[in-house]
Structure 1
Amino acid sequence: MSPDQKHRYKLYYGNARGRAEPIRLVFHFLGVDFEDYRMEQGEFTGALKDKAPMKQVPFIEIDGGKVTLCQTVSICRYLAKSVHPDRWLGGATKTDSAKVDMMADGFADLFQLAAMAKYAPDSIKEGFQKHYKDTMPGKLEIMQDLLKKSKGDYFVGKSIHWCDVYILGVLQSLDEFDDEVFEKFPELQAYYLRMRNLPELKEYIDANWPETKYKA
């Protein structure tokens, strides 16, 4: 741990990107040393499961369990506002903060839509896959329009916020699940590529993510 880092962090999840990947991205973007504990299948039981506030993953422990938090969006928001509060990654005003939360929640809905299409039980998967195909294009169009209306290269104004880092994790999941997902959305595609190449994240992404077919 860096000598100027005030707290110790441990992230619990399975050996996958999934819902934990946006948290990992926020840690790396902020330059935070953390323990990335990747559980084996069947390990999340007993005392380990009891640590989790809502008995689910991902969750993080801070300073050996003095604080324990779950829910991906909530964890990302907490880290962005607490690690470097002077950077205003959560928004410099109440209005910007609300917009940052809005964008993260909106993309969380898209992640859930894809997750259900991918992981729903076989007996109902076909219905979820049809729902994904019918609704995802319209939802992405809405998000692209919001990006266009922003005053900068990010979703809330001219500077990056934690929602952008979170959104990158969601976009990667969509890209890996659906290889045509951004074909009709050039602004979203360009945003996705810019975010993948952020100096704070590029080394981690190059080492841990599959390549994308989209090119700048």
Structure 2
Amino acid sequence: MSPDQKHTYKLFYVNARGRAEPIRLIFHYFNVDFEDYRMEKEEFGEAKEKAPMHQLPYMELDGGKTTLCQTLAMCRYLGKSIQPERWFGGATKTDSAKVDMFADAFCDLFNLAMNAVYADEKIKEFQMESFKAAIGPKLKIQENLLKKSKGDYFVGKSIHWCDVYILGILQALDELQDGIFDDLPELTAYYLRMRNLPELRDYISQNWPATKYE
């Protein structure tokens, strides 16, 4: 651990990207040492019992002195606390609210996808078709907002933790549905720009499948 690092972190999740991947991305973006504990199926029950809300992912700080859960809450905490002088959560109250707004919006898109992927077999085909019909227009709304930000990122010209979170969601959508960004050139450019950030490029190349948009 770097001598400049004030806390230790242990992230608990299944052996998958899923809801924990945006948290991992923030750690890697800041080059923070953390324990990425990816548990196997037989460990789920015990782990969930230890989790504050009995669900994954969750994170222990400083050997368990503090325990946090909920992906957005953990991302927000890390984005604001690791290097607070960088204003990764927004330099003003308005920017901070916009960061939260965009993270919440893409969380909704991820939940829409997961509701289809993990639907009961009796309704899965219907749920997947509903997702495919809805996701394009919803992503177009976000692309239009990205264009209005007048920068390379969703909140102006500076990168914020919501951008790193959004990258994780875009990767999940890219992997789920082939060609999902075909009619979204500005969002595609943003996605590729984020995938190729110097802080994240090595981690992504070693841990993510290739995208057709590269």
Normalised to the residue count of structure 1, the TM-score between the two structures is: 0.97
Equivalent position SS for 1:50:
helix
Partner of 1:174: 173
After TM superposition, the structure 1 = structure 2 runs for residues 31-46 of structure 1, keeping only pairs within 5 Å, are 31-46=31-46
CA distance, structure 1, for counterparts of residue 10 and residue 97 of structure 2? 28
Counterpart position of 2:94: 95
Give 2:82's aligned residue: 83
Shift of 1:51: 2.0
Q: Give the total of aligned pairs.
A: 214
Q: CA deviation at 1:31?
A: 1.2
The CA deviation at 1:115 is 1.1
| Counterpart Cα distance in 2 of 1:120 and 1:63 | 37
Match of 1:19? 19
Corresponding residue for residue 163 of structure 2: 164
2:150 matches 1:122? no
| C-alpha displacement of 1:202 | 0.3
Deviations 1:121-156 (A, max 9, x none): 211212211210121111011000000000200000
SS at match of 2:12: strand
- Which residue of structure 2 lines up, in the alignment, with residue 65 of structure 1? 64
SS of 1:32's equivalent in the other structure is coil
Distance 1:152 1:138 in 2: 22
Partner of 1:10: 10
CA displacement 1:184-204 (0-9 Å, x = unmatched) = 000000000000000000000
Unaligned runs of 5+ in 2: none
Within 1, Cα distance between the matches of 2:178 and 2:185?
14
Question: What does residue 29 of structure 2 align with?
Answer: 29
TM-score when normalising by structure 2: 0.98
**Misfit runs of 4+, over 6 Å:** none
Question: What's the CA shift for 1:50?
Answer: 2.6
- Distance in 1 (CA, whole Å) between partners of 2:21 and 2:43 is 19
- Structure 2 residue matching 1:123: 3-state secondary structure: coil
Could you tell me the percent identity over the aligned residues? 68
Matching residue of 1:55: 54
